[in-house]
Structure 1
Amino acid sequence: MIRHTAALAGAAVLALTSLSTSVASATEVGTTAACTLNAGSVTAAGAQTYRTVTSTIPPTAGTQQTTANVFQAGAVRLSSTFTDIPNYVGSSRSGFVVIGDSLYIRGYTTDGSDQIDQTYPGGSTRIGGGWTPYRLIERSAYRPLDTDIPGRTHFYGLRNDGVLFRWNITNGWKTAGSAAGFAAVKSMALISQNASYDTFLANTGSGALYTIRIPVTSPMKPVVKKVSTSGWSGRTLIANRCGQYGTVLLAVNDAAKTGALYAVGHANGLLTVIKALGNVPTSFGNPIQFRWGPESEYLNGE
């Protein structure tokens, strides 16, 4: 069982009145090449979907693939990014989900028709309980270039009371700090990772947009910067690397079940350039949205 006993380390309160309100640069983000984001979802029936969204103007969406019977119907409450690693027939997939009060890692392989390969069906391994009060989870696996061994893997969980917890799961699960002050956060998307820190792009219930940089050092002391003052309420954020320093950002409107795509320049507080690319021509009506990612990635959005 994972023990949620890490001491609170500092306060990174998302108070609108405590941050700068200067106007961002009007310079547009460069769009020399289209970027892609692999958007996933968990359906009410327990299937997983996979669709590639491309940052053309207007954005385009590929054909949705659906893998049936990954979970029991209605069981999954939270999902992290899932990795998708091609193999000689289909792909190997894995990621974390919260089912009931427990955290699980789910892994399986697919066949040539994108269904679970019954020869290697995988399964779900329970990590531990105590996850009922959590509303967001994510994993960051940073691997130094030219190596086959992850340099570090951190797992994050945001509790309903606004405390953000971190675990180091490189060699088993070890508590790695926590910080209070994030009760206003509605959604978080990982946009940067290196040997020194992880950075999330987060929106609040009031519609503001922030970066949350979390150094790997202890005690855990996040650095919060406002990126945009309004317009991001009621949205689930999914992000992927775009170019050397940028991010392609999908904002799913939870009420309307629609998605809008943005090109985000290298994050720099209120000077961050955000270019609206348009609405994605597909519905995002399934209960849970998440991102598909590769085994190794080098997010560099901040």
Structure 2
Amino acid sequence: MAAATLTTGLLTAGTATAEQSGTTAPCRISVGSVTAGGDHRMQTFSATAPVTKVTDKIVAKDVYPDGQTRLSPAVRYGPGEGSELHTGQVVLGSVLYDFSYRTPVGGGTVSQKQLTRVGPGWQNYRSLDRSTVGAKSVEWSLTNDGAELERRTVKTENGRVYRHMDGWASNFRGVKGMALISQTSRYDTFLMTHSTGRLYTARLPRVSGHIIQPVVKPIRMSTWGVFETLVAAPCGQGTIVLGIDRDTGNGYLYSVGHANGLSTVIKGLGKAPGTFKDPVYFSWTKYSDPLLFGE
């Protein structure tokens, strides 16, 4: 597969533990989900072998109507003004919303919930991710058939949020799961799983030109096609990735080093405790976590 052309698909992968990057404590990944009842759930896993579940809790109940959530990118949270603020985006049915709400620190009763309608048409997409570097945010969305991966620039002016589609890349058919693993001022990098079983990185420019020329590199050539959902968190110079097999409800944790094509170091940490059968999964990200990390 040529570096700039996606012909057979992509894949998603993981991270490096803190032990690998020279510190003593293992890294953790906080996996979020929206339950069938519209609750926000958090499961935190330690990147050890065997995998250890540190937290499993309902952060907030009845955030959304039952059974309506289709897509949710990463949710950011952190303490402030004696409570904990949670913000992000969500697709309910066919409509995209920005949302925010507060709970007591650590979760609990929801207050000051705001759900701001952005617009319809999102029944045509099967993924949504947001990348923020400095003051600039972009959103990436993949069409249901994988024919197009679209880039939107997000701007806030006079208290209102504006989105403008300013780029697209073609031929992502066969992609099953994707997760953002690197962001710089010039490009974002995703890991993607593919129906052929292959694992890829796809580097996508954040600026310059409506026709996006992705740089696509294989990471592994087989076995990754079972994962329809990927959740990633940075760790040292790499990434922790949870691959979820929606058919079985099983999740497996991986430590993926610095992306370097087929030479990328990937360590399987094992099966994550519990089952993964909630309708929608995402990554929990603290406001205090660094947003700028590169390859």
What is the TM-score when the length of structure 2 is the normalising length? Answer: 0.86
Contact 2:183 2:293 in 1 (8 A): yes
1:69 has 2:62 as partner: yes
Gaps of 5+ in 1: 1-10, 20-28, 144-149
Counterpart-to-counterpart distance in 2, 1:293 and 1:191: 13
Aligned match of 2:226: 234
2:242 match: secondary structure: strand
Counterpart-to-counterpart distance in 1, 2:165 and 2:244: 31
1:233 match: secondary structure: helix
Aligned match of 2:207: 217
CA deviation profile, 1:174-201 (whole Å, cap 9, x unmatched): 2220011111111111100011110011
Counterpart-to-counterpart distance in 2, 1:89 and 1:229: 49
Contact 2:45 2:51 in 1 (8 A): yes
1:169 match: secondary structure: strand
Aligned match of 1:168: 153
2:100 match: secondary structure: strand
2:155 match: secondary structure: coil
Contact 2:251 2:271 in 1 (8 A): yes
1:287 has 2:279 as partner: yes
One of 100, 107, 127 as aligned partner of 2:93: 100
Aligned match of 1:25: none
User: Could you tell which deviates more after superposition, 214-223 or 66-75?
Assistant: 214-223
Alignment of 1:104-253 (within 5 A): 104-112=97-105, 114-118=107-111, 120=112, 122-143=113-134, 150=135, 152-162=136-146, 163-171=148-156, 172-219=162-209, 220-235=212-227, 236-243=229-236, 245-253=237-245
User: Could you tell which deviates more after superposition, 202-211 or 292-301?
Assistant: 292-301
Aligned match of 2:36: 44
Counterpart-to-counterpart distance in 1, 2:79 and 2:7: 40
* C-alpha spacing 1:12/1:131, structure 2 compared with 1 (3 Å): farther
Q: RCO (CA 8 Å, sep 6+): is it higher in 1 or 2?
A: 2
1:54 offset after TM fit, Å?
0.9
Contact 2:79 2:105 in 1 (8 A): no
1:56 has 2:48 as partner: yes
1:255 match: secondary structure: coil
1:230 offset after TM fit, Å?
1.1
Contact 1:90 1:114 in 2 (8 A): no
Contact 1:14 1:224 in 2 (8 A): no
What is the TM-score when the length of structure 1 is the normalising length? Answer: 0.84
1:88 offset after TM fit, Å?
4.6
Gaps of 5+ in 2: 11-18, 157-161
User: Could you tell which deviates more after superposition, 38-47 or 172-181?
Assistant: 172-181
The one-letter amino acid of 1:44's match is: A
CA deviation profile, 1:23-58 (whole Å, cap 9, x unmatched): xxxxxx936441111101010011110121110121
1:300 offset after TM fit, Å?
3.5
Q: How many residues align?
A: 271
CA deviation profile, 1:84-121 (whole Å, cap 9, x unmatched): 12225441111111112111112101125612443x2x
Counterpart-to-counterpart distance in 1, 2:255 and 2:106: 33
Contact 1:40 1:290 in 2 (8 A): yes
